[in-house]
Amino acid sequence: MKRGLAAGVFRHRYDPLQIYITIVALSAHHLNNGHTLTAIFGVDLLSPAWRADRRAHAVALVLNSLTGVDSSAG
């Protein structure tokens, strides 16, 4: 985080522990509750395709918050 800020790659200063906990939450909640959420929403949250989309979304969300750049475009 310090190197990213110093290099100008990261534009926003966040607590690294908070970023870590956010990444864990974005990465695990849908897996830990996959069967229940699949039943509730009618979408197979455990399918490889949905998990790949979810991963791309989570990565883009974290990078967007740190860099201020829309990393989901393109």
Contacts of 45 (CB under 8 A, 6+ apart): 30, 31, 34, 37, 38, 51, 54
> How confident is the model over 23-42, as a mean pLDDT?
95
Q: What global pTM score does this model have?
A: 0.80
30 pLDDT band, cuts 50/70/90, is very high
pLDDT digits (tens, 9 = 90+) for 38-65: 999 999 999 999 999 999 999 999 999 8
Tell which residue, 1, 55, 48, has the closest CA to residue 28: 55
In angstroms, what CA-CA distances link 29 with 26, 33, 35?
A: 6, 6, 11
> How confident is the model over 17-30, as a mean pLDDT?
93
Q: Which two tokens stand for residue 22?
A: 């956010």
- The number of beta carbons lying within 10 Å of the beta carbon of residue 45 is 19
